[in-house]
């Protein structure tokens, strides 16, 4: 466990010290601030639109930063023979693989946390104007309403940020597995394609369970096989509830809304999604360990 933690810590520091990491974090921060200051002209739904766009920005920025790290995490160390030096120590290959993965997802968690705090701050700032209220009003009722809207609007962001990190963690596992064999040129586009395909798998379930499935068993089997191999990333997208719906919290304006979503329900779903992510990550890393065990450490493959 000590060796694994050392590898994880080194990988984490290496990931956040990369110039591309700082560049992407700066770009994400600037984008969130600029969008937070701009109107969206949605006639009352500007805050929801900003949160939705902001979460997409966080997802793309942190995912790209993570994929650059995973694409080089093992492959480059094998090619420049650094891995030979590492494996000459009393270190097992599974400790290297898992340690690097843990360090990478910690770096992605830091990125999600930093950008998430900025998103929360800008959402808090823009709520009064989006709800046509004056933030500097001396009226206690107005101030109470502003506070209630602010709490309701930011309540759903934290669960969705955790879901975003879980989705990135699943894709990072695939990136680490591919890194045992392939370079950045192959790894990066492959995971991006998997990301796009994983978000399209939600459309396979109507095929696998709908009327078409009864008429064509072959089509049903094909849809089932694709959904089994490709991660169902729709599991980690709860924006319909966390962003577009009103969150029910104590002492908030949402108490007047009978359709408000209880915050406890959102966190329960996050827990279930976490189990789903653990299952797929475990499967991916097992495949990666099998690939890594048969990999020559002197380079020249891929």
> In terms of C-beta density within 10 A (0-12 exposed, 13-18 middle, 19 or more buried), how is residue 91 classed?
middle
What is the reported pLDDT for 256? 53
Q: How far apart are the first and last CA of the chain?
A: 30
Instruction: Confirm whether 85 is domain-assigned.
Output: yes
The pLDDT value given to residue 254: 45
Between CA 247 and CA 95 the distance in angstroms is 42
Residues 6+ apart with CB under 8 A from 40: 46, 49, 50
Domain that holds residue 37: 2-293
Q: Is residue 302 part of a domain?
A: no
Assign 218 a pLDDT band (cuts: 50, 70, 90). Answer: low
Number of domains in the chain: 1
| Buried-exposed string 244-256: b where 16+ CB fall within 10 A, e elsewhere | ebbbbbeebbbee
Question: Who's near 193: CB < 8 A, 6+ residues apart?
Answer: none
| CA pair distance 84, 259, nearest whole angstrom | 59
Is residue 156 included in any domain, yes or no?
yes
Identify the pLDDT of residue 217.
64
Contacts of 261 (CB under 8 A, 6+ apart): 156, 241, 245, 246, 247, 248
Q: Evaluate whether 238 touches 287 at the Cβ level (below 8 Å).
A: no
- 209 occurs within a structural domain: yes
Give burial (CB, 10 Å; 0-12/13-18/19+) of 217: exposed
In a domain, 300, yes or no: no
**Could you tell me the pTM of the whole model?**
0.85
Note whether residue 155 is domain-resident.
yes
Average pLDDT over residues 33-50: 85
298 located within any domain: no
The answer to whether residue 39 is domain-embedded is: yes
**Across 261-267, average pLDDT:** 84
Determine the average pLDDT of the residues in 27-52: 88
Question: In this predicted structure, what is the pLDDT of residue 208?
Answer: 52
């Amino acid at each position: 466990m000590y060796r694994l933690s050392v590898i994880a810590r080194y990988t984490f520091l290496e990931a956040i010290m990369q110039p591309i990491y700082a560049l992407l974090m700066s770009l994400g921060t600037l984008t969130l601030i600029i969008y937070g200051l701009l109107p969206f002209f949605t006639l009352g739904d500007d805050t929801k639109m900003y949160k939705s766009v902001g979460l997409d920005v966080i997802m793309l920025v942190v995912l790209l930063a993570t994929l650059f790290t995973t694409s080089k995490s093992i492959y480059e160390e094998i090619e420049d023979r650094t891995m030979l030096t590492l494996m000459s120590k009393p270190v097992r290959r599974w400790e290297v693989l898992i340690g690097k993965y843990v360090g990478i997802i910690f770096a992605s968690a830091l990125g999600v946390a930093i950008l998430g705090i900025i998103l929360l701050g800008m959402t808090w700032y823009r709520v009064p104007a989006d709800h046509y209220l004056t933030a500097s009003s001396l009226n206690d009722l107005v101030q109470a309403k502003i506070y209630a809207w602010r709490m309701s609007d930011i309540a759903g962001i934290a669960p969705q940020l955790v879901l975003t990190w879980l989705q990135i963690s699943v894709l990072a596992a695939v990136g680490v597995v591919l890194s045992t064999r392939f370079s950045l040129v192959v790894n990066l586009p492959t995971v991006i394609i998997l990301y796009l395909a994983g978000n399209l798998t939600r459309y396979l379930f109507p095929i696998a369970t709908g009327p078409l499935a009864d008429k064509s068993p072959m089509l049903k089997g094909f849809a089932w096989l694709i959904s089994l191999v490709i991660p169902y990333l729709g599991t980690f997208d709860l924006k319909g509830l966390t962003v577009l719906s009103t969150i029910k919290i104590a002492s908030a304006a949402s108490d007047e809304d009978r359709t408000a979503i209880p915050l406890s329900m959102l966190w329960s779903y996050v827990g279930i999604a976490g189990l789903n992510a653990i299952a797929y990550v475990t499967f991916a890393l097992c495949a990666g360990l099998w690939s890594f065990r048969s990999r020559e450490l002197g380079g020249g493959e891929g």
